[in-house]
Amino acid sequence: MKIAVFGLGYVGIISAACLAEQGYKVIGVEVNDIKINEVNNGRSPIVEPYVNEIVSKVVKSGNLEATDDFESAVKNSNIALICVGTPSSETGEVDLSFIFKTAQQIADALRKKENFESEYVILIRSTSMPGTVDKFAEVVQSISGKKRKKDFDVVSNPEFLREGNAVNDFYNPPFTLLGCECERSEKIVRQIYSFLEAPFIVTSVKTAEMLKYVNNTFHGLKVGFANEIARICRKKGIDSREVMELFLLDKKLNISEYYLRPGFAFGGSCLPKDVRALSYESKKNGLSLPIIENIMNSNSLHIEWAFDIILKEKVTNIGVMGITFKNGTDDLRESPAVVLVEKLLGKGKNVLVYDENVRLSKLVGSNREYIEREIKHISEILIEDQEKFLDSVDLVVITNRENSYRELLNSYQKKELIIVDLVNIFPEKRSSKNYKGIGW
């Protein structure tokens, strides 16, 4: 297998050097003469542990060379890795001009290329917005006259390395991710990375393209969050390092998968009140903590989002399954489902509510007060008879993951209901036309 690597920056030189170290013949394509000369003289164009040694070794062995001649690089390879930069433009939008320049170059070269050993596979390693791979393929197809998934393919293969630890990360990624919708290309890419022990995961092209943005945004969010905690702690004379060390000890809820699966908004008697309190406290102390201050706003927008999904169905008789803030409780305080019901009633919808854990006759104290205050005629819309509930509505919104709701809806055969699933309780129904998810 012969590999052309476009862009010999941080990502490109690591891939080029390490793949050459694994025995592949690699041609690095660069537009910067200084970088080309450095590589051809056996030196790394970037400062990064171990890279100089590897580049020196693989250039000497003849496995790596650098050039600006993209045409001969494509002619003499059957795989291309695109590692060019995708910087921010002035507006913050990702600048994909370097990516599309390589699309044109590869297309020009492919137009003239004959005697394909197999299809030419182009791996986009640069971080680029979902849709870029397909546009890249369109450009190549229209200029080269070759056909995607027959003569060539373009796939997404995002890079997860961190500068400073890049060689180690290249050889030990969390997993190799391939966004690819063609078995032939998948087989070729699997072969390239066969020396890696990490799991090899294949997904759709757009999912793979999206992941790198999700990762990096989350990393930014973590740093920003920890630093906002530091600012409020310092104002209050508390050591934020100690607070965060203790925070990190909780591997059940804090550092875990918990709370990271998309679904409905949060609520309950603690989270909203405590987020609000910390936000207020920061303002009182003259601080601006935009991440913390915007959490409640983001949560409200998510309720609006669910509301809009329901309204789009243009249905009058709506059933809400689950009025508590989560399953397994009768706690209604600050439940996002209560807000949703209020909003639907406000739009003139006929709303009925069924909740496994809520019987109005048994509600006492703050729960009863809360629901009677928030939803005026709650006794008229909260219904205990499951059959009557489903018979009376045309659309059901599921707001919490009570398993009995699944069973109930699965056994109901009288008519086809539209299901708006806010908690992913029905993953198997996703392709059905009467099913709407909140973020899938």
Ligand X SMILES: NC(=O)c1ccc[n+]([C@@H]2O[C@H](COP(=O)([O-])OP(=O)(O)OC[C@H]3O[C@@H](n4cnc5c(N)ncnc54)[C@H](O)[C@@H]3O)[C@@H](O)[C@H]2O)c1
Nearest to residue 397, comparing CAs of 300, 299, 333, 315? 315
DSSP state, residue 416: P
What SS3 class is residue 65?
strand
Q: Does the active-site annotation cover 18?
A: no
The nearest distance, CB 440 to ligand X, in angstroms, is 26
Residue 308 Cα distances to 311, 346, 347, angstroms: 5, 13, 11
**Distance between CA 435 and CA 430 in Å, rounded?**
6
Flag whether 267 is marked binding. yes
Nearer CB in complex with ligand X: 179/263: 179
CB 123: neighbour CB atoms within 10 A?
Answer: 28
Q: Which positions lie near ligand X, rule CB under 6 A?
A: 6-12, 29-32, 35, 83-86, 98, 101-102, 126-127, 159, 161, 163
In angstroms, give the least distance from the CB of 175 to ligand X: 14
Quote the distance between the C-alpha of residue 55 and its chain's center.
34
Of all residues in the shown chain, the one whose CB is closest to ligand X is 9
Q: Least CB distance from residue 215 to ligand X, whole Å?
A: 9
Q: Is 258 annotated as a binding residue?
A: no
35: annotated binding-site residue?
yes
Rank residues 88 and 115 by Cβ distance to ligand X and give the closer one.
88
Q: Annotation-wise, does 160 bind a ligand?
A: yes
Hey, CA dihedral for 125, 127, 133, 137, is it positive or negative?
Answer: negative
- The answer to whether 192 and 1 are in contact (CB under 8 A) is yes
Q: Is 196 annotated as a binding residue?
A: no
Contact 296, 279 (CB under 8 A): yes
Nearer to ligand X, 11 or 303 (CB): 11
Name residue, tokens 């002619």: 75
For residue 263, say whether it is annotated as part of any ligand binding site: yes
- Has 162 been labeled as part of a binding site? yes
Q: How far is the CB of 155 from ligand X (least distance, A)?
A: 15
Beta carbon nearer to ligand X, 73 or 358: 73
Q: For CA atoms 90, 93, 94, 95, give the dihedral sign.
A: negative
For ligand X, the closer of residues 156 and 324 by Cβ is: 156
Residue 225 burial (CB count, 10 A): 15
Place of tokens 């063609």: 182
Least distance from ligand X to the Cβ atom of residue 208, Å: 13
In this complex, which beta carbon is closest to ligand X, that of residue 63 or of residue 157?
A: 157
In this structure, what token pair is assigned to residue 6?
């476009």
How many CB atoms within 10 Å of residue 259? Answer: 10
Least distance to ligand X from the beta carbon of 186, Å? 21
- Kindly compute the dihedral angle of the four CA atoms of residues 361, 365, 367, 373, in this order, to the nearest 10 degrees: 90
Q: Which of 83, 182, 233, 270 is catalytic?
A: 270
The residues annotated as belonging to the active site are 270
- Binding site for NAD(+): what residues are annotated? 35, 86, 127, 163, 273, 333
- Binding site for substrate: what residues are annotated? 160-163, 212, 259-263, 267, 326
